[in-house]
Amino acid sequence: MNETVAAPASEIPTDADLAFDELYRRARDDVHAYVAGLLRDRSAAEDVTALAFERAYRRRQSFNPRRGTRRAWLFGIARNAALDELRRRRREATLVAEPADEAAIPPDQGAEVAIRRAALRDALATLAPRERELVALKFFAGLTNPEIAMVIGVSETNAGTRLHRVIEKLRRACDEAA
Amino acid sequence: MKLREHEMPLDPEVERELEEIDRALGGEPVDSDLDALAELARALREERVSAEPRFAAELDQRVADGFPRAGRLDQLRRRLTAVPPRRILAPAGAAATLLVVVGVAISQSGEIGGGNGNGGISPQPAPDQPVGVSPARPSGAGAEPAGGAPAERDAQATFLRDKRAASAANVPLARRRIARRVDLALSTSPERFRDAADGVLDVVRDHRGFVVRSNVSGGDPDAPRSQLGHGSFTLRIPVGELGAALGDLSDLGHVVSRTDGTQDITSRFVSVKKRIAALEKARQNLLRQLADATTVTEQESIRRRLEIVESQLSAAREDLGSAQRRVHLVPVSVTIDADRALADGDGGDGWGLGDAVDDAGKVLTVTAGVLLVSAAVLGPLAILAVLIWLGVRALTRLRRERALDQI
């Protein structure tokens, strides 16, 4: 005898549910890395990341593919949540950046590598927030240049130019430190 | 032609470097002259902060649960406590102002329009034209000396002054004197015409009114069209019985038309009463003067003036009575016409297809009116809400961007 067990309609995942699940699996660490890079505060980054995914989940039905990729849409939400957090913290107290975790440099790495990484971190610390955001989007979150342009609301050319300027700035700072 | 920045292509060298960075991040080999750049890109990638396993597990669980909502009240309380008071004050003030504006607009809208008096809205009493209360001169009053005697002149002056001052505006609404008038046109089937005409008289009797004039002609059901029945009645119905009487009259046939008219004659009452008071005072003065008169000539003169004043007083009292009757006994004009079209089944007093079409039209008209008024009220509010929403959105975006500049 064949028996078919039907799940309640409310439990059957929709296309939007499935797309969100896949987006979450692919982007969870990237979103966290981007937010942490922007806020420089692990605890706040966790809160903001969770909030961003919750907002994206609630609005998953309203995603419009004609306005960009799902990933860019998610990072737009994460960016708004992170900027709201920055505003909140600016109202409450001056933002104090979390000190760099020196222990994060593996002890087995050579001294030269350690020096280079320290120089890079110093250079990163000198970046303006907008520049740091570009670094976070490109190198921490792994967004493509068109996606970066979409998230920060500028043209692709503009995003590429800005990104190149930041990299140049970092390169000069690292060279000077060396 | 100067290209804007977003239209300008990237510098080829910049474009190449960006592509090499992407290759380096993707683990692909890069051009040897850009090794340093690739190394920088990889080093930057290594600066990426990884999520704590604990956090990742918690978030995974929340996603699996579909981000369960806290209770509505908890959410509201959390939101309210998260917002600084100074950020609540401005929107709350704006909302309160908006409420006041809407309230005032709604209260004012009640004074706009007001209907035509036939649409179920209380008809506006027309301001009274001072009714002809000019004193009826007695015959022979032409002997009145030019300029008039002092007492009569006083009374006349007082009357004119009072008449000008007799503004009815100060009289409370409940005490205003409203004269009503109703015109009712009925039609019946030829067979029922006689019963309807007789019914008018029964209704008048039942409601303690009287017939001023009546004229009934025709009424033979088989008569040619030009000789079908026609009746007209001029009635007086006590104001207290008017509603019930009109209801009974309307039941006698199909109501073709009904016109209700009102006239505010408060000022007429006020001026006549003041005039009576002034004339009575003048009469008293003349009587005192007559008692004090010493010569026959003087007595004769006063008596003539006294006669004039008493005549005017009588006319004024008659005028007052007339006005009171006008208020208490409402003139009702009724016409009844026999109509052969109503002789068939769906005519007469029944509710038929024509009535249904009429009723449907009325319902649609009222519905359209309600929608129009709603649109007039809600349209501007919706536009305002959209503008506020756009403004808040733009402001929020601006503040977010500024947050990046002000760290």
Residue with tokens 């929709």: A14
Residues of A in contact with B5 (CB under 8 A): 155, 157-158, 161
Q: Count chain A–chain B contacts defined by CB atoms under 8 A.
A: 128
Chain A, residues 65-84, CB within 8 A of chain B, namely: 80, 83-84
Buried b (16+ CB within 10 A) or exposed e, A84-121: bbbbebeeeeebeeeebeeeebeeeeeeeeeebbebbb
d(CA B349, CA B339) in angstroms, rounded, equals 12
Percent of chain A predicted with pLDDT > 90: 47
Query: Among all residues of chain A, which has the CA nearest to that of B397?
Result: A80
Residues of B in contact with A133 (CB under 8 A): 404
Total number of residues shown for chain A: 178
d(CA B327, CA B320) in angstroms, rounded, equals 11
d(CA A47, CA B51) in angstroms, rounded, equals 12
Whether the full predicted model's pTM is greater than 0.95, yes or no, is no
Residue with tokens 């007695």: B138
Torsion sign across C-alpha atoms A65, A67, A72, A75: negative
Residue B375 has phi, psi (to 5 degrees) of -65, -40
Residue B356: C-alpha distances to residues A104, B272, B326, B348, B367 (Å): 86, 51, 39, 14, 16
- Inform me whether the C-beta atom of residue B3 falls under 8 Å from chain A C-beta atoms: no
Q: In this structure, what is the dihedral angle of CA atoms A78, A81, A84, A90, given to the nearest 10 degrees? A: -70
Closest CA–CA distance from residue B9 to any residue of chain A (Å): 7
pLDDT (mean) for A157-169? 93
Chain A, residues 30-59, CB within 8 A of chain B, namely: 32-33, 36-37, 42, 45-46, 49-50, 53-54, 57-58
Report pLDDT for B66: 85
Q: Cβ of B403 and A90 within 8 Å?
A: yes
State both tokens at B3. Answer: 């290209």
Domains and CATH numbers, chain A: 13-177 (1.10.1740.10)
State both tokens at A147. Answer: 């996606």
d(CA A167, CA B20) in angstroms, rounded, equals 12
A178's enclosing H/E stretch is none
**3-state helix/strand/coil string of chain B:** CCCCHHHCCCCHHHHHHHHHHHHHHCCCCCCHHHHHHHHHHHHHHHCCCCCCHHHHHHHHHHHHHCCCCCCHHHHHHHHHHHCCHHHHHHHHHHHHHHHHHHHHHHHHHCCCCCCCCCCCCCCCCECCCCCCCCCCCCCCHHHCCCCCCHHHHHHHHHHHHHHHHCCHHHCCHHHCCEEEEEEEEEEECHHHHHHHHHHHHHHHHHCCCEEEEEEEECCCCCCCHHHCCEEEEEEEEEHHHHHHHHHHHHCCCEEEEEEEEEEECHHHHHHHHHHHHHHHHHHHHHHHHHHHCCCHHHHHHHHHHHHHHHHHHHHHHHHHHHHHHHHHEEEEEEEEEECHHHCCCCCCCCCCHHHHHHHHHHHHHHHHHHHHHHHHHHHHHHHHHHHHHHHHHHHHHHHHHHHHHCC
Which of B87, B91, B104, B102 minimizes the C-alpha distance to B382?
Answer: B102
In this structure, the strands spanning B178-188 and B210-217 are: unpaired
Q: Cβ of B50 and A49 within 8 Å?
A: no
Which of A84, A121, A164 is the closest to B14 by Cβ? Answer: A164
Report pLDDT for B263: 84
Is residue B286 within 8 A of residue B313, CB to CB? The reply is no
Ramachandran quadrant class, B228 (left: phi over 0; alpha: psi -120 to 50; beta: rest): beta
d(CA B363, CA B374) in angstroms, rounded, equals 16
Q: How many CB atoms lie within 10 A of CB B176?
A: 16
Residues of B in contact with A32 (CB under 8 A): 49-51, 55
Chain A, residues 85-144, CB within 8 A of chain B, namely: 86-87, 90-91, 95, 116-117, 120-121, 124, 129-130, 133, 135, 138-140, 142, 144
- Inform me whether the C-beta atom of residue B222 falls under 8 Å from chain A C-beta atoms: no
End-to-end CA distance of chain A: give it in Å, rounded. 77
Q: Cβ of A120 and B40 within 8 Å?
A: yes
Is residue A174 within 8 A of residue A120, CB to CB? The reply is yes
d(CA A35, CA A15) in angstroms, rounded, equals 27
Is residue B242 within 8 A of residue B329, CB to CB? The reply is no
Report pLDDT for B158: 52
Q: How far is CA B367 from the centre of its chain?
A: 16
Is residue B75 within 8 A of residue B69, CB to CB? The reply is yes
Residue A60: strand, helix, or coil: helix
Query: Among all residues of chain B, which has the CA nearest to that of A49?
Result: B59
Radius of gyration of chain B (CA): 44
Residue B59 has phi, psi (to 5 degrees) of -65, -40
d(CA B126, CA A160) in angstroms, rounded, equals 78
d(CA A87, CA B87) in angstroms, rounded, equals 13
- Inform me whether the C-beta atom of residue B291 falls under 8 Å from chain A C-beta atoms: no
Residue B188: C-alpha distances to residues A100, A103, B192, B219, B338 (Å): 101, 106, 6, 11, 5
Residues of A in contact with B6 (CB under 8 A): 154-158
d(CA A100, CA A122) in angstroms, rounded, equals 9
Residue B236 has phi, psi (to 5 degrees) of -125, 125
State both tokens at B69. Answer: 């909502």
Which of B5, B37, B45 is the closest to A139 by Cβ? Answer: B45
Mean pLDDT per 10-residue run, chain B (407 residues)?
59 89 89 88 90 92 84 66 61 71 59 40 39 39 44 53 54 78 90 88 92 85 72 92 91 89 86 91 92 90 92 91 88 89 57 84 94 91 93 89 77
Closest CA–CA distance from residue A1 to any residue of chain B (Å): 34
A56's enclosing H/E stretch is helix A42-58
Which of B162, B161, B143 minimizes the C-alpha distance to B307?
Answer: B143
Residue A8 predicted with pLDDT over 70: no
Residues of B in contact with A164 (CB under 8 A): 14, 17-18
User: pLDDT tens digits for A89-132?
Assistant: 877 654 445 545 544 555 555 677 778 888 888 888 888 889 99
Q: How many CB atoms lie within 10 A of CB B340?
A: 14
Chain B, residues 27-86, CB within 8 A of chain A, namely: 36-37, 40-41, 43-52, 55-56, 58-60, 62-63, 66-67, 84
Report pLDDT for A75: 95
- Strand-by-strand arrangement of the B178-188 sheet: B210-217, B230-238, B329-338, B178-188, B254-264
Q: In this structure, what is the dihedral angle of CA atoms B35, B38, B43, B44, given to the nearest 10 degrees? A: 150
